[in-house]
Amino acid sequence: MSKYKKNQKINSTIKEIAVGYPSTLKRIDESWDFRGAFTKEYTHCFHSYPAMMIPQIARRIIEEYGKNAKLLFDPYCGTGTSLVEANLKGINAVGIDINQLACLIAKVKTTRLNLKELNEQIEQFNDFVFFKSFDDIEKSNYIIPKITNLDFWFSKTAQLKLAIVLYYISLIKDQDISDFFKVAFSETVRESSLTKLSEFKLVRDKKLNGRTDPDVFSIMISKLNRNFIGLKEFIKDTNQNIISRIYNYNSVIEIPPTILSNDSVDIVVTSPPYGDSRTTVAYGQFSRLSSEWLGFENAKQIDKLSMGGIRIKEINNSPYITLNEILSQLKNKDLNRALDVLSFYSDYEKSIRNISKVVKRKGFVCYVVGNRTVKGVQIPNDEITKEIFESNGFNHIETIIRNIPTKKMPLKNSPTNVSGETSLTMKNEYIVILQKK
């Protein structure tokens, strides 16, 4: 194939993917697909979570745009993929997230522990549950937290065994080691529940297949041992003077200097939500049961508190051309869905405005986004993201289009938000790179 025909084919594909909103600096690059890559090295093996950025993406972004960076910021850090990668590259990092469970996981993934003390605590736990396995747990009086619809989501056996594990964790005096155990416990809660594990939304599994009597203790031990190995690798390859700071905070609200001062960040590497949690990726539902077991506040309110969680009541003109065109198409099809989209981008714009303030002059922002479909209308999130940052003093460098062979996303979602109506989710990601003027 000639170079001209190859470029013509690539440009045609870009136009098809961008659905009428192509950027002159947008290109497809299959080298960013990372097909077959191992995504669970280091502490990336800790805890599943919806729509996780694979470490190879964050790693390559940092290598290409963060060569001289001293501070990385992730304003929607989730479980801390970019923070781990920053620390491995000798860069300090700050992450914020509205979800307390995500913050806990990110904190544990980036905290260097005394491995000898941690190993001793794991061995003591093994002894503890070994002897408990001989007890009549039906007669135990361990405290079970107040969980919404407890009996619907957990068998009686699972409830009692989880309560025993939680009791043990309460006895651990070292807070960092206690948090390490809580992360393993969180995943144990999920796998011991009667939920459909293939779903991010909270759905009871109709095919329980013996899950009414889960081996809670063995699951917990397995998670602890796996995470210990990952942490050992992380500690071996990171400098003890490099740290991550994680805050449970909402980037829609102005970022205070106690978290980050203005003009202090060299590079932002993040994968923000693609839309409101109610109709896209249900982060709140995914984390709710674990959050309730761990006693986190607002465990049932995450999706509502997230961007677009509170619907705007009327359509207003947006200063962004691409968003206005999308809203015009949507409001003719379904006014409420148009309001959902506008509500998300109203909060998204506030978040980007706050993030822009903390980035240094000549600093980079790197957003890994997806272009979702609502009522048959594809929303070019990459173009909207670019336009919002440009209005906040950034120059667009490039947008890289990659396939999503590995990212853990639901195969289908409900773009109409009507029960039973589904469509295929996005198959491409867009890595939007901008630089502050």
**pTM for the structure as a whole:** 0.90
Query: Which token pair is 84?
Result: 């781990």
CA dist., res. 278 & res. 269, Å (int) = 24
Is there a contact between 382 and 22 (Cβ–Cβ < 8 Å)?
Answer: no
- The torsion angle over the Cα atoms of residues 163, 165, 167 and 172, rounded to 10 degrees, is -160
DSSP string, 381-409: HHHHHHHHHHTTTEEEEEEEEEE-SS---
Which residues make Cβ contacts (< 8 Å) with residue 178, sequence separation at least 6?
A: 169, 172
The SS3 assignment for 71 reads strand
Check: CB of residue 154 under 8 Å from CB of residue 194.
yes
Residue reference for tokens 């990171």: 238
Q: Supply the DSSP symbol for 341.
A: H
d(CA 71, CA 88) in angstroms, rounded, equals 13
Distance CA 381, CA 398 (A): 14
* Dist. CA 393–CA 387, nearest whole Å: 10
CB atoms within 10 A of CB 126: 14
3-class secondary-structure state, position 304: helix
Q: Which residues contact 339 (CB under 8 A, 6 or more apart)?
A: 311, 312, 313, 314, 315
Number of other residues whose CB lies within 10 A of the CB of residue 80? 30
Residue 410 CA to residue 357 CA, distance in Å, equals: 34
The predicted pLDDT at position 71 comes to 98
Name the CATH architecture for the domain at 3-109+248-283+299-436: 3-Layer(aba) Sandwich (3.40)
Q: Between β-strands 373-374 and 359-369, what pairing exists: parallel, antiparallel or unpaired? A: unpaired
Can you give the pLDDT at residue 251? 96
Which positions of the chain have pLDDT values less than 70? 1-24, 209-210, 277, 406-426
Copy the structure tokens of residue 269: 């590497």
Distance from C-alpha of 109 to C-alpha of 230, rounded to nearest angstrom: 9
CB 343 within 8 A of CB 312: yes
In single-letter form, the type of residue at position 60 comes to: R
Given the DSSP bridges, would you call strands 423-424 and 412-413 parallel, antiparallel or unpaired? antiparallel
Residues in the chain: 437
Please classify residue 359 by burial: count the beta carbons closer than 10 Å to its beta carbon, then call 0-12 exposed, 13-18 middle and 19+ buried. buried
Answer yes or no: are the C-beta atoms of 319 and 312 closer than 8 Å: no
82 to 45, 63, 235, 258, 380: CA distances (angstroms) = 14, 12, 16, 21, 24
The predicted pLDDT at position 378 comes to 93
CB count within 10 Å of CB 19 equals 14
Where do the DSSP E strands lie in 62-220?
71-74, 92-97
The answer to whether 303 touches 96, Cβ cutoff 8 Å, is no
Look up residue 352 and give its amino acid.
I
373: Cβ–Cβ under 8 A, 6 or more apart, which residues?
A: 379, 415, 423, 426
Using CA atoms, how far residue 29 sits from 3, 147, 317, 398, 420, in Å, is 16, 46, 35, 12, 35
Q: How far is CA 277 from the centre of its chain?
A: 12
Instruction: Say what the pLDDT of residue 212 is.
Output: 78
H/E run at residue 354: helix 335-358
For residues 228 and 46, is the Cβ–Cβ distance under 8 A? no
d(CA 404, CA 35): 9
Q: What is the pLDDT of residue 241?
A: 96
Task: Cite the residue boundaries of each domain of the chain with CATH code 3.40.50.150.
Answer: 3-109+248-283+299-436
Which residues share a beta bridge with 151? none
Tell me the β-bridge partners of 26. Answer: 399
